[in-house]
Amino acid sequence: MLDFIVKRVVQVVIVVFLALTVVFFLIRLSGDPTTLFLPPDAPKEQIEEYRELLGFNRPLYVQYAEFMKGAVHGDFGESLRSGEDALGLVMARMPATFQLAISALALSLIIAIPLGVLSAYKRNTLFDKASVGITVIGQAIPNFWFGLILIFIFAAQLKLFPSSGGGSVKHMVLPVITLALYSVSRFVRFTRSAMLDVLSKDYIRTTKAAGTPTSTLIMKYALKNSLIPIITLIALDLGVLLGGAVITEAVFSWPGVGRLLQQSLMNRDFPIVLAGVFIIAIIYAVINFITDILYAYVNPQIRVK
C-alpha cells in the first residue's frame, strides 16, 4: 500500500510539473504581455522600462528557472493587473467553485442513481426508453446554453432567481442545475448499464428465486455490486465538473476559479493563469488518487493484486 501511495505521489508531482512547464512556454510563445499594459504608440524606452520592471527582458530559460523556483515555494508572482499575490487570488476563489461543483455532483447523483436503477430494473419498458431518450438528448445539450435558457425562464421571465452573482442559496440554484445536467445524463446511462450487468448474474436470480423482496434485492445485492464502476465515474466526472464549472461560472458570473481564469486569460494576466493551472492539476490528481484508493476499498480483488 505504501509503495502504491509513494508511486502515485511521484506521479502527481510529475503531472503538475509538466502541466506548469507546458503552460509557461505556451504563454511566453504567445508574445510579450507588456504591450497590453501600454498604449500602442508608447515610446520604446517606456516599453523597455516596463519589460525590465516585469522581468520579460531576461532570457527565457532564466525566466523559467525563476518561475519554477518560485512555484516550488507557492510563489507565482503578482497579478499583472492588481498586483496582488496570484496564488492567493486563486485560493480565495476556490471555496465558491467547490461549493458549485460539489452541490452539482450531489444533485446529479440524487437524480441519476434512482433513475438508472429503475431504468435497469424496468428494462425495455416505456419508462426505460423515456429515460434513455432523455439522457441521449441531455448529452447533446451544451451546458452553457442550458444555463442561458434557465436564466431566460427563471430569471428574466418568472423572476424567481437572480441571473448572476454569488453569495446566497438563491444564487446557487440555477448554476448548480446547469452544471448537474451533463453529469446526470452520464450517470443515468452508466448506472443503468452497471445495474443491467449485475442483474443478469446468477446470484441475483437465485436470491430472487428465494423470495427476497425486490427492495432488498436491489439495495442490498445489486446496487452494492454496481457501485465500483459508478465510483470511478463519479471521480472522473469531478474533473469534468471542474472544467464545466469554468463555463458555468462565466454564464452566471459566479465568483469562482473558473471565472477568474477566464478573465485572466482575456487580460493575459499570466501569473494568475499559471497559479490556476497549478491548483487545478493538483486537485485533479488528488481526485484520481482518492478514486484509486476507494476503488481498492470497494473491490478486494484489486487490493490483492
Partner 1 sequence: METSTITTTTNPIDSKVQKKSKFKFFFRKLSKSWTGMLGFGIIIILIVLSLFGQWIAPFDPMDAPLRDRLLPPLTDGHILGTDQLGRDILSRLIAGTKVSMIIGLATALLAGVVGTIIGVTAGYFRGWVDVVLMRIVDVQLSFPFILLVLVVSAVLGAGLTNIIISLAVGGWVIFARVIRSEVLAIREKEFITAAIATGVPKLEILVRHILPNIFTPIIILVSLQMGTYIIAEASVSFLGFGVQPPTPAWGNMLNEGKDYIFGSWWLITFPGLAIVLTTLGVNLFGDWLRDTLDPELKGE
Give the interface with partner 1 as residue ranges (CB under 8 A).
Answer: 11, 14-15, 18-19, 23, 26-27, 29-30, 136-137, 139-142, 144-145, 148-149, 151-152, 156, 163, 193, 196, 239-240, 242-244, 246-247, 250-251, 261-262, 265-266, 273, 277, 280-281, 284-285, 288
Q: How far is the CB of 209 from partner 1 (least distance, A)?
A: 26
CB of 157 to partner 1, least distance (A): 9
Quote the Cα angle for 75-239-225, to 5°.
Answer: 135
**Which of 165/213 has CB closer to partner 1?**
165
Shortest CB 239 distance to partner 1, Å: 5
One-letter amino acid at 99 equals: Q
Report the residue number, 90 or 280, with the smaller CB distance to partner 1: 280
Under a CB-based contact definition with an 8 Å cutoff, are residues 191 and 117 in contact?
yes
Would you say 49 or 128 has its CB closer to partner 1? 128
136 vs 219 by CB, closer to partner 1: 136
The nearer residue to partner 1, 28 or 208, going by C-beta atoms, is 28
| Least distance from partner 1 to the Cβ atom of residue 142, Å | 5
Spatial distance between the Cα atoms of 270 and 64, rounded to a whole number of angstroms: 13
| Beta-strand runs (E) in the chain | none
Cβ atoms < 10 Å from Cβ of 234: 21
Core vs surface per residue 69-102: b (16+ CB within 10 A) or e: ebbeeebbbbbbeeeebbbebbeebeebbebbbe
Rounded least distance, CB 15 to partner 1, Å? 5
Q: Which grid coordinates belong to 216?
A: 432488498
The conformation of residue 201, written as its DSSP 8-state character, comes to: S
Q: How far is the CB of 193 from partner 1 (least distance, A)?
A: 5
Q: Cell numbers for 23, please give them.
A: 503552460
Q: Are 259 and 272 in contact (CB under 8 A)?
A: no
- State which residue, 49 or 243, has the beta carbon closest to partner 1: 243
